[in-house]
């Protein structure tokens, strides 16, 4: 299981939700909220695939947040 | 985690994790605003997995992991250096934009106003010309005749 922690000052929460839906077919996800972070836990059949899905999901969340003008603009 | 220092760089600023194939950069928010961080990160997301975190107030942590697995220490060092250079460039451009924001807004406003074309006759008819256009305490705007005409008493 891999855990990704997206800081609320950096990542838009709606974008993290969108990213999880986008990659939903490639791994199993569990979402959790903390005071400072959006936390995503993901599990994939192999460690290689898990690492790749985690990386791509992180990039998708960051890239989309930037395209929308940052975490605070949404 | 098996974090090691990167050759020639302080470990409290840059550290590499060869097992994970990633390099972490610790950055000061005062020097690198979030917009600059976004700019540099966006350039690298086509070849790296980029994760930004805020471990403490006023600090950023950027984790870069090349998409091609098996990066060695030299490759991670080069990656961190490239990112740091790009980040510096983005931070500098961000500062220039902030410093010149008013000028940029004024030029843009004038350009848009100019693109709207010249005013119509109706627009000109609505203009108020009754007010004093400018103050002229020295009488510079007066004509020669107005300024030096003989008064009735002098005739």
> Quick one: pLDDT at residue B114?
81
- pLDDT bin (cut points 50, 70, 90) of residue A73 is low
Q: Is residue B132, in this structure, part of any structural domain at all?
A: no
Judge contact between B16 and B4, C-beta under 8 A.
Answer: yes
Going by the DSSP 8-state scheme, the letter that residue B27 receives in this structure is E
DSSP for residue B128: -
Amino acid B133: pLDDT: 65
User: Does A9 contact B34 at a Cβ distance shorter than 8 Å?
Assistant: yes
Q: Are B20 and B1 in contact (CB under 8 A)?
A: yes
| B133 falls within a domain | no
pLDDT at A14: 94
**Could you tell me the CA-to-CA distances from B31 to A1, A65, B37, B92, B136 in Å, in that order?**
35, 22, 10, 10, 51
Q: Quick check: A62 and B45 CB within 8 A?
A: yes
DSSP state, residue A23? T
Residue B121 lies in a domain: no
Position A9 scores a pLDDT of 94
- Enter the tokens of residue B85: 């250079």
Kindly report the nearest CA distance between residue B88 and chain A, in angstroms. 18
Domain count, chain B: 1
Q: What pLDDT shows up at residue A11?
A: 96
Residue B64 in any domain: the answer is yes
- pLDDT for B135 beyond 80: no
Q: Which contiguous run of DSSP H or E holds residue B122?
A: helix B121-126
pLDDT for residue B7? 72
Which residues in B lie closer than 8 A to residue A10 (C-beta atoms)? Answer: 34, 52-54
pLDDT in tens, A13-67: 999 999 999 999 999 999 999 999 999 999 999 999 999 999 999 999 999 999 9
* Residue from A31, A30, A59, A63 nearest A44 by CA: A30
B12 lies in a domain?
yes
Quote the pTM value: 0.75
Residue B38 has pLDDT above 60, yes or no: yes
d(CA B53, CA B16): 16
Please give the residue range of the domain that contains residue B56: 3-102
CA distance A54 to B59: 23
In this prediction, what percent of chain B has a pLDDT beyond 70? 93
Assigned CATH topology for domain A2-67: Ribosomal Protein S8; Chain: A, domain 1 (3.30.1370)
Block residue for tokens 């700019």? B39
Contact A68, A44 (CB under 8 A): no
B119: in domain = no
The stretch B80-102 carries a mean pLDDT of 93
pLDDT number for residue A26: 94
Residues of A in contact with B49 (CB under 8 A): 54-56, 58-59
ipTM: 0.91
Closest CA of chain B from A18, distance in Å: 17
What pLDDT does residue A74 have? 44
Q: Is the pLDDT of residue B127 over 50?
A: yes
**Whose CA is closest to B69, among B24, B23, B21?**
B21
């Amino acid at each position: 299981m891999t855990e990704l922690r997206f800081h609320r000052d950096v990542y838009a929460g709606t974008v993290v939700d969108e990213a999880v839906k986008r990659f939903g077919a490639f791994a199993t996800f569990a979402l959790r909220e903390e005071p400072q972070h959006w936390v995503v836990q993901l599990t994939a059949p192999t460690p290689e695939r898990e690492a790749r899905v985690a990386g791509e999901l992180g990039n998708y969340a960051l890239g989309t947040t930037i395209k929308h003008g940052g975490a605070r603009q949404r | 985690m098996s974090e090691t220092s990167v050759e020639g760089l302080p470990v409290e600023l840059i550290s590499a994790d060869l097992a994970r194939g990633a390099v972490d950069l610790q950055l000061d928010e005062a020097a690198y605003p979030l917009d600059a961080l976004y700019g540099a990160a966006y350039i690298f997301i086509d070849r790296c997995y980029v994760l930004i975190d805020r471990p403490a107030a006023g600090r950023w942590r950027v984790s870069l992991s090349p998409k091609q697995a098996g990066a060695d220490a030299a490759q991670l060092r080069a990656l961190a250096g490239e990112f740091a250079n790009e980040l510096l460039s983005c931070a500098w451009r961000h500062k220039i934009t902030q410093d010149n924001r008013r000028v940029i807004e004024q030029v843009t406003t004038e350009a848009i106003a100019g693109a709207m074309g010249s005013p119509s006759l109706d627009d000109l008819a609505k203009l108020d010309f009754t007010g004093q256009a400018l103050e002229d305490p020295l009488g510079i705007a007066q004509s020669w005749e107005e300024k030096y005409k003989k008064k009735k008493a002098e005739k």
